[in-house]
Amino acid sequence: MCSACGFPALAGHWSDAGVSSPGDKMRIRFTRLAIVNRLLKPYRLAAHDDGATPGFQLLAPDGARVMVKNLEELWKEAGRIAGTAVDPLSARALGDE
């Protein structure tokens, strides 16, 4: 509960909705990480989730690591490192170039 307004606190980013039980949360974490990594691969990036802290670690090709809080931050930071937006509908992501 949020002490200011008495409503349940936001789970975080909108993408984190719909999963409140800790068991479900653990299960989906790895499914989601696999999708994130499939999307990052064409941009030579990868993400890591230690299973303990919220958010992800983004791994750049030069070995640099950046902590991001949620998916939106992850895509923005990945786009910044790659020099182009991580776009699931683009020819690059779909392997058409």
Partner 1 sequence: MIVNEAAETPVDNLLLTNAAHADVLAGGCACCDGREAFVALLRTICGMRDAQGAGAFDQIVLETSGLADPGAIATAISGDQMLARRLIVEDVIVLVDACHGAAQLSDEALCRAQIEAADRIIITKSDEPSARDTDRLIQTLKLLNPSANIEGAEKGVPVKLPAHDDATPYPLSGSGIETVPIKPHRLDISGGGGWASFSVWLSAVLTARGNDIVRVKGVVGSPDGRLLLQSVRNVVQPPEILPEPDDTGNGFLAPAEGVIVLIGRHIDEPTLERSWQKFVMGTGS
Which residue of 44, 48, 80, 90 would you call a contact of partner 1, by CB under 8 A? 90
CB of 11 to partner 1, least distance (A): 9
Cα–Cα nearest to 75, from 13, 9, 10: 13
Q: What is the DSSP string of 46-97?
A: EEE--SSSSSEEEE-TTS-EEEESSHHHHHHHHHHHHTS---TTSHHHHT--
Question: Which residues in the 55-74 window bind partner 1 by CB under 8 A?
Answer: 71-72
Residue 22 interacting with partner 1 (CB under 8 A): no
Residue 26 interacting with partner 1 (CB under 8 A): no
Q: Name the residues that contact partner 1, by CB under 8 A.
A: 2, 4-10, 13-21, 24, 28, 31-32, 34-36, 38-39, 71-72, 75-76, 79, 85-90, 93-95
